[in-house]
Chains A and B, each alone.
Chain A
Amino acid sequence: MNYDLTEICKDIRCDILTCIGHLGVGHIGGCLSVVEALAVLYFKEMNIDPKNPQMPGRDRFVCSKGHAGPAVYATLANRGYFDKKELLTLNQGGTNLPSHCDMNRTIGIDMTTGSLGQGFSCAVGVALGSKVETDGATIYAMIGDGESQEGQIWEAAMFAAAKKLDNLIAFTDYNKMQIDGTTAEVNDLDPLCDKWAAFGWNVIDVKDGNDVDQVAEAVAAAKANRGTGKPTMIILNTLKGCGVQWIVDLGTANHNTNMTEEQAAAAIREIRGED
């Protein structure tokens, strides 16, 4: 089935805003910056079945920047893994939708993440498992740019290249912001593409990681890389808070911020072009 990915991105963004607005606080900026990647994976590229979420040999996605949980939940709900109404339970006591991804609570979540750096190694382990099983699956992982300051990321990077895990396609959500400031101010990652290339990865630099066509093109190119023995890192140059101007304007303050239901409703009108 062919989906209109631009419309899907709008739907995912609106659902992120609805559930975080309902709660009143959340990791808004870094959820909105990864939407295009999630839409391309779950609505175009991944071999998955929402009716059979544990399908053997399925493609998998590990959101190593686990705080983007709400973005993944909105994507899963739109893809039919569970009822959209459940999104309103985000972070309520007893919910199956905690702020950070939990494979034991949420249908469709492939790995528990939240302690930065670890999910990426887990994804490497999943990719290794798939290689050994020769089931042909593709393993996707999303890491944050701030997360890339963790040493464990580079341990995993070295290992994945050494073991020739070309079934692993990773993304860096390079929105260039973290909690204490810009990544340039706090602990600069540049030149990020060169670092991944030096670690033996196939690197694709996506100029606008919030342009769904550019992201789709990059993922297709990464899949074509299979057989070369190199894992792929897709650097997504993104905008933290993408889609809602006042959230973008908060800058680094949009990492985890308050939002009322009224603000969420206005933001949704902005995304829908209704203002």
Chain B
Amino acid sequence: MEMRAVYAACLAEMMEKDKHVCVLDADLSKASGTLALYKQFPEQMFDCGVAEQNMASIAAGLSSYGFKPWIESFTPFATRRICDQIAISISYAKRNVKIVGTDPGISAELNGGTHMSMEDIGVIRSIPGMVIFEPVDEVQLRAAMPVLNDYDGPVYVRLFRKQLPVVFNDDYKFDLFKADTIHEGKDLTIFVSGMLTADVVEAAKLLSAEGIDAEVINIHTIKPIDRETVIASARKTGAVLTVENHNVIGGLQSAVLEALAAEKIPVCAVGVEDRFGEVGKLPYLREAMGLTVENIVAGAKKALSLK
């Protein structure tokens, strides 16, 4: 299933159960997969039109009235465009608002550089009180949605809209604040978030064929990062690679480095090297930004060589 279909189905279940769960759009409900919910839940769906700042603060107001609002837009407009509204109306004011940014990083594809957020995690991560969650696949997203809804505070959800390879099994158990070890290893640790997780799993297999035993850990919650797991794994393997569909400044690499600041462990990164996006389909953009399985394998070897 497409991620947005899972997301919308979970929202529908939550709205059915609780009339205070509501969704606000800024003219992108079709893209978010929630357009059909307007007919089903007319009193819980609000389209604010192309006015993201207003949408964010209205959600804060609704939250003060006991509602549990989810606001949606493309990732850049759900974060950097409304940074102050998220900081003040939502997080400073301790409002229970979920912010969903779709099309993270290169997944904005043909919308190109203006719509391709490489900095959203960095922007949101520096705001106190924010939780940042980026799902890997539909299994994790389905497990996470009710947990996010029940969490009483602001969360930024970085949502890939379309279909993603399934990484987790049906018996997957989700803990919002606990990283998921997908594969245990002893030679190095690869920390990965979001859509590149399946690529890391593939890279780990290639490394294994060369006799390199990589531990693969999915950091679905980038803030607050699961420091305990990050530090324990890095100490165990002694070398780290981070992999992210985001600028290497401010995102997963930064979060992992902060956790490992007091450790003498080499950390290498595969991510967007401080540049803006551009138009293209995913295969082109993966090459252009260096987000390929080959680069992950090379990055892992580099981290190993620094041990």
Contacts and interface: CB of A to CB of B under 8 A. Distances in A.
A151 B51 CA distance: 10
Interface string B87-99: 1110011100000
Interface string B24-48: 0000000000000000000100101
A241 to B, nearest CB: 27
A111 B64 contact: yes
Interface stretch (A79-87, A114-122, A201-209): A114-122
Contact of A125 (B53, B65, B84, B88): B65
Given A118-B85, A159-B48, A125 B61 contact: yes
Contacts of A156: 54, 57-58
Contacts of A275: none
Given A122-B61, A122-B64, A128 B46 contact: yes
A121 B89 contact: yes
B65 to A, nearest CB: 3
A130 B61 CA distance: 10
A127 B58 CA distance: 9
A4 interface: no
Given A151-B53, A152-B54, A159-B54, A115 B61 contact: no
Contacts of B146: none
**In this complex, which of A111, A115, A121, A151 has the most chain B Cβ atoms within 10 angstroms of its Cβ?**
A121
A125 B59 contact: yes
A132 to B, nearest CB: 6
Nearest to A121: B57
Nearest to B50: A155
B53 A111 contact: no
A231 to B, nearest CB: 14
Contacts of A122: 57-58, 60-61, 64, 89
A186 B61 CA distance: 30
Q: How many of chain A's residues touch chain B, expressed as a range?
A: 20 to 34
A162 B51 CA distance: 13
A59 to B, nearest CB: 13
Interface string A145-187: 0000001100110110011000000000000000000000000
B62 A112 contact: no
A129 interface: yes
Contact of A123 (B61, B84, B85): B61
Contact of A104 (B59, B66, B84, B93): B93
A111 B93 contact: yes
A104 B90 CA distance: 12
B175 to A, nearest CB: 28
Contacts of A102: 93
Nearest to A111: B64
A103 B61 contact: no
Contacts of A72: none
B65 A114 contact: no
Nearest to A117: B53
A128 B44 CA distance: 11
A112 B88 contact: yes
Contacts of B59: 125
A104 B64 CA distance: 11
A155 B53 contact: yes
B48 to A, nearest CB: 6
Contacts of B85: 115, 118, 121, 152
A122 to B, nearest CB: 4
Nearest to A101: B93
A124 interface: yes
Nearest to B43: A132
A274 interface: no
A129 B54 contact: no
B49 interface: yes
A121 B88 contact: no
Interface of A: 62, 102-104, 110-112, 114-115, 117-130, 132-133, 151-152, 155-156, 158-159, 162-163
Interface of B: 43, 46, 48-49, 51, 53-54, 56-67, 84-85, 87-89, 92-94
Given A103-B93, A112-B92, A121-B56, 8 more contacts: A111-B61, A115-B84, A115-B89, A120-B57, A125-B62, A125-B65, A152-B57, A152-B85
8 contacts: A62-B61, A121-B54, A121-B85, A127-B61, A128-B62, A129-B64, A133-B65, A155-B53
